Amino acid sequence: MEPEQPPISIPNYEPLFGSDATSLSPLSGSVVTARQNAAQVRGVTGRLRHGGGKLVVDDGLFKFADNDGFNANGEAENEGVVLRLVNPGGRYDHASLYSMQYSVDGQAYSAVGAIGVATRIEDMPMTGTARYTGDAVYAYTNQAGTGFGGLGTYDARVDFAGGTVDSVVTVSTAQNPFTRADVANPEFDRIDMRGLEIDGTAYFGTNMQLVSDNSVVQLTGANTTAQVEGHFYGAARDSTGRIIPDEIAGEALLQGDEGNVILSFIGD
């Protein structure tokens, strides 16, 4: 009888927020940058010296740096620009949603994104599947400047062998962004993002659909395009003992002549 093999040790990844270590972690993520009548999904890179060291976040449009990293409230600031972590329920260790506002060449931008301690390529599985569930935040805006937004639940099924991600956001709440009044019958109750393709430690796609009562609805009008980008973060052991990414998170944008939907999602 062969001796029982010890379980594979989990690779070390520091949490994004609250670590006392002084090690340096590379960061990755995605962000939707928006200004009047224009929005775009961008990739995010950066680095964090844990334990109160320097934070750098670069979305290709604006490079943010804070020599002291995040404060106790999960915020970082430099020259009036504040980056705020948004971690629903404090549930996530290696990734977080975030928001910030900045100006480039006199243009004001709002940015909502997802960022975290990136899974190393050598820790990405090549076989098997995994399921991640979590949280989502969305906003639908039409050309009149009205619409609704709220929270949702995120459910993603990852096929590492096939290199694909199928994900669904189920709308939980819908509110008017100006009055905060509840919207009783929102024009969609689900957002589908299927057939996304894994590339390294990220996944991408252009398949994003709004669904109401199991039927696809068209709210954004002609010339609608979609961008979806997610990333894998940290490492954990699943129920079978395999090492898989601990968390996933990302951004999505559906936009056309008659409006757009901006979506942030995160799961573990």
pLDDT in the model for residue 6 = 55
Of the pLDDT bands very low, low, confident and very high (cuts 50, 70, 90), residue 144 is confident
Q: Provide the percentage of residues in the chain whose pLDDT is more than 70.
A: 97
Mean pLDDT score, 53-66: 98
State how far the Cα of 146 lies from the Cα of 142, in Å rounded to an integer.
6
Closest CA to 201 of 159, 166, 233, 249: 233
pLDDT in the model for residue 184 = 86
Is 111 a residue whose pLDDT tops 80?
A: yes
Q: Is 142 exposed, middle or buried (0-12, 13-18, 19+ CB in 10 A)?
A: middle
Q: Give the class (CATH, top level) of 24-267.
A: mainly beta
The overall average pLDDT reported for the chain is 94
Of the pLDDT bands very low, low, confident and very high (cuts 50, 70, 90), residue 118 is very high
- Give the HSE-up count for residue 152: Cα atoms under 13 Å, Cβ half-sphere: 25
Q: Is the distance from CB of 129 to CB of 160 less than 8 angstroms?
A: yes
Instruction: Show me where the domains of the chain are located.
Output: 24-267
Mean pLDDT score, 131-138: 98
> What is the 3-class SS of 231-262, one letter each residue?
EEECCEECCCCCEECCEEEEEEEEEECCEEEE
Is 222 a residue whose pLDDT tops 90?
A: yes
Q: pTM higher than 0.85 for the full model?
A: yes
Is 3 a residue whose pLDDT tops 50?
A: no
State how far the Cα of 176 lies from the Cα of 202, in Å rounded to an integer.
33
Measure the CA dihedral 101/105/106/112, to 10°.
-20
Of the pLDDT bands very low, low, confident and very high (cuts 50, 70, 90), residue 143 is confident
pLDDT in the model for residue 38 = 87
Mean pLDDT score, 8-35: 93
Render pLDDT for 161-215 as a digit per residue (tens, 0 to 9).
999 999 999 999 999 988 889 998 899 999 999 999 999 999 999 999 999 999 9
Mean pLDDT score, 148-161: 97
